[in-house]
Structures are given as structure tokens and as C-alpha cells.
Amino acid sequence: MTGQPITCKAAVAMGAKEPLQVVDVVVGPPQKGEVRIKITHTALCHTDEFTLSGDDPEGLFPCILGHEAAGIVESVGEGVTTCKPGDHVIPCYQAECFPSDREKNTCPTCRGYSLGKTNLCGKVRAFTGKGIMRADGKPRFTLKADGTPIYHFMGTSTFAEYTVLHEESVAVVRNDAPLDKVCLLGCGVSTGLGAVWNTAKVEEGASVAVFGLGTVGLAVIDGARAAKASRIIAVDLDESKFERARAFGATEFVNPAKHDRPIQQVLVEMTNGGVDYSFECIGNVKVMRAALECCAKGWGVSTIIGVAGAGQEIATRPFQLVTGRVWKGTAFGGFQSRSMVPKLVDRYLNGEFKVDEYITHTLAFDHINEAFDLLRKGQCLRCVMTL
């Protein structure tokens, strides 16, 4: 089908809060610098539900959501050099222009003074935020029924049998990696691990508090275990999450609802002054404040991972920062995506961290609305769908 449009199934979000519609869409051929991928497996991340809920200021409809997936390259557009048809790949919502663009780099965040300071590649972000492709400023998806254009999402749109990505968003992985498992490395698991290893840089013997025990929080716990943290305090309102958190490496468990004083005070007392590192893995601005304020005076570092809705803002007394606590945030755990995702696949296959354990459900793709319901009810970590 090289150079030709493909008609296939996709789950289209027609509007905020509406169930997805699994319908026929036409996926245009990849243009200059683009890659068309056959998606084999996609999971659901909380951020897909966040955008579908209407809370995402960048949310556009109709769109094809999905950003935690794996697949096989079907065809490539003009000028693509870093992948080829048949390659096994993981779409990366956080793009990386290196290594295809090393020589004449026009990326604002991957060149000059910025080089190596961030994983927030700026090469395609302006286009992915608008749901369009760089080559012509248009989406590659249209509804088969009436030709309506459908926006891309996060530069990935993996809730479709075929999708088109910018080359900068495609990580090639070894072809013996199980795609039904490594699809999870496209977002939540990598984010939690990287938040610990790259953003906070937790060191051996440190104390850590993790707020929220979904996939991201559990990956933080697994990363902290691998970093040899001495205490890993797991915090969640739902105590049914504690047993699994223990299996991932948590050493203590706190339910804020069981205490009549602020949770930050409880944690400061438990740790005789505050934790060395905390992580917010929920997307709740009040919890973000608690996560900062439970950190040790002088050096404690709090990393925000959760995504909060339009209009939400964080607050604390400036004195919290004046006295040495540090507030950070992380996108995709600070990993340079195309360089590091293949290495994460290797490390997973070496048994260095968990991946399979997050898959609590598997469903056929046309049951995708059930997967959203499971996620909303807090009943699943990751639901992997086969296309």
C-alpha cells in the first residue's frame, strides 16, 4: 500500500466526554519526514482519559487519541532515514530530533546552549499540539463516511490500525521484543522510572514518598527500589492499592483519609523532618502542595508527574522554597525518547524492572470504551488492546 491511502478501523473521539466510535477512517500516505505504522498493540494511559474528559487545554475534536503503543513500520515518506518498513517501533509522544538532525539542527531545545539540558525536543511540538503534520499543516486522517478531517493527538494517535507519525516520534526497537508488553514503555512505565533516575536522581539510602499508586506511581516505586532507596512510602486513598505497591518495593503505606491532620505533617513526623524525595503521580494540585511540603527542609526535592486540568494552579508558601525544598516536574521521565526507549527495552528484557505486572486487563480493540470505563473506576492499571 506504499504511497496509497489505507482504509482501516480507528476509535474516534468525536467530542469531549463522548464514547469513542470505532469506525472506518482513511489514513493518508506518509509525506516528507513521516512514517506510517501498523499499530499492533495499544494501551490506555490516564492522559487519554484526561483529554477525552475535556480538561486538556490542548484537546481538539474529532481526534484519534492513544499514545502508549507498539507497532510495525508499513511505509515511510521522502527523506526518512532512521526507520524502514518492517521495523518494530514504539511511538514516542515526546519526540527527539537527534540523531537524524545532528548536523544542521534547527530545533530550539536540542541545539547550542540547550543541548542535553532537556528531553523536550521542539522540532515537531508546535504541530503535534495542534493535531496536524508538519509537511502540510493538515492531519492524515479523515472519516471514511464523509471525509471529515480528524486531528492527531500527542503526535501519536495509536487508537487506530494505522497511524502516521513524524520521523522524530518513532523509536526503533529490537524485533524480538514482545510488542504486547513493550508498548507500555511508550508512556507510563518509562515516565515513572525516569522521574526517579533522570529528574530527581534518587540516590542509594534516600527516603521517598510516592503519592498515587496507579501505573506511574508503581513505576516510581520500582525505580526507587532499583535506585536502592531506603524507605519508600506509598500514599493512596484506596488501600486496596497497598498490596501491589508492596510487591513493587514500597516499605510503608499511608492513607491520608485515616489521619486528622495534613498528610505532609504526618510524613514529616514519620521521617523525622521530611523525605528526601517525593513524587506526585495523580494530577491533583492540592496533593502536589502536600508532596512538596512533606520534603526535608534544606534539600528535599518534589517532582510533579500528574497532569492537572485547565485552570488548575499549584500554590505553596514561598518560605517552603526559601528554605531549600525544590519543586520539579517531568515529561516522559526526562528520557530522550528515540535514544533511550530501545535501551529501556533491552533493560526490561534483562529483568531490571517490571513491565508485565502492570497489565491487569487485555481486550480486543473494539472494546475500547470498556477499557476507558475500567480506567475511570480505578479498576485497572494498564489495559492492553490488540489490533
Ligand X SMILES: N[C@@H](CCC(=O)N[C@@H](CSCO)C(=O)NCC(=O)O)C(=O)O
What DSSP letter does each residue of 270-325 carry, written as one string?
Answer: HTTS-BSEEEE-S--HHHHHHHHHTBPTTT-EEEE-S---TT------HHHHHTT-
**Distance separating alpha carbons of residues 250 and 97, to the nearest angstrom:** 36
Q: Is 191 in the site for ligand NAD (CB under 6 A)?
A: yes
220 lines the binding site for ligand X (CB under 6 A)? no
Size of the site for Zn ion (CB under 5 A): 8
Least distance from ligand NAD to the Cβ atom of residue 291, Å: 10
The catalytic residue among 36, 67, 225, 361 is: 67
* Position among 234, 282, 296, 355 found at the interface with ligand NAD (CB under 6 A): 282
Give catalytic status of residue 47 as yes or no. Answer: yes
- Kindly list the distances between the CA atom of residue 132 and the CA atoms of 3, 34, 65, 118, in Å, as whole numbers in the listed order: 19, 12, 13, 24
Q: Which of 37, 43, 45, 383 binds ligand NAD (CB under 6 A)?
A: 45
123 binds Zn ion (CB under 5 A): yes
Instruction: Select from 95, 150, 185, 187 the one that contacts ligand X (CB under 6 A).
Output: 187
| Nine-digit cell string for 7 | 482504509
Q: Which of 294, 305, 344, 359 binds ligand NAD (CB under 6 A)?
A: 305
Q: Which amino acid is at 117?
A: K
Q: Does 382 bind ligand X (CB under 6 A)?
A: no
Output phi, psi for 121, to 5 deg. Answer: -55, 135
Collapse the DSSP code of 195 into the 3-class scheme (helix H, G, I; strand E, B; otherwise coil) and give the result. helix
The whole-angstrom separation of Cα 48 and Cα 71 is: 19
Amino acid at site 179: L
Give 11 or 383: the residue with its C-beta nearer to ligand NAD.
383
Distance CA(46)–CA(69), nearest Å, equals 14
125 makes contact with ligand X (CB under 6 A): yes
Side-chain half-sphere of 367: how many Cα atoms within 13 Å? 12
**Active-site residue 289, yes or no?**
no
Residues within window 118-157 making contact with ligand NAD, judged by CB under 6 A: none
213 part of the interface to ligand NAD, by CB under 6 A: yes
The answer to whether 239 contacts ligand NAD (rule: CB under 6 A) is: no
Residue 107 binding: pick among ligand NAD, ligand X, Zn ion, none (C-beta 5-8 Å cut-off by kind): Zn ion
Q: Which does 215 bind (CB under 5 to 8 A by kind): ligand NAD, ligand X, Zn ion, none?
A: ligand NAD
CA-closest candidate to residue 95, choices 56, 66, 126: 126
The amino acid at residue 37 is I
106 catalytically annotated: no
Contact predicate 333/227, CB 8 Å: no
Of 3, 57, 112, 351, which lies in the binding site for ligand X, with binding defined by CB under 6 A?
57
In the bound complex, what is the minimum distance in angstroms from residue 108's beta carbon to ligand X?
13
Residue 75 or 94 with smaller CB distance to Zn ion? 94
Bridge partners, residue 150, by sequence:
141
Q: Build a one-symbol-per-residue string for 95-124: x at contacts with ligand X by CB under 6 A, - elsewhere.
A: -------------------------x----
Which of the residues 330 through 349 are near ligand X (CB under 6 A)?
331-332
Task: Indicate which single residue of 42, 47, 157, 163 sits in contact with ligand X (rule: CB under 6 A).
Answer: 47
The residue written with cell numbers 520500582 in the block is 222
Are 185 and 211 spatial neighbours (Cβ–Cβ below 8 Å)?
no
- Choose the binding region for ligand NAD from 24-32, 55-63, 279-287, 314-322 (rule: CB under 6 A): 279-287
Choose which of 62, 77, 139, 283 interacts with ligand NAD (CB under 6 A): 283
Element counts in the chain: helices (H) and strands (E): 11, 17
Is 281 a catalytic site residue? no
For residues 170 and 97, is the Cβ–Cβ distance under 8 A?
no
- Per-residue exposure over 163-194, b if at least 16 CB sit within 10 Å of its own CB, e if not: bbbbbbbbbbbeeebebbbbbbbbbbbbbbbb
Judged by the rule CB under 6 A, the positions of this chain that interact with ligand NAD are 45-47, 50, 187-188, 191, 211-217, 235-238, 241, 256, 281-284, 287, 305-307, 330-332, 378
Judged by the rule CB under 6 A, the positions of this chain that interact with ligand X are 45, 47, 56-58, 94, 120, 125, 187, 307, 331-332
Judged by the rule CB under 5 A, the positions of this chain that interact with Zn ion are 45, 47, 97, 107, 110, 121, 123, 187
Catalytic residues, which ones?
Answer: 45-47, 67-68, 97, 107, 110, 121, 125, 187, 382
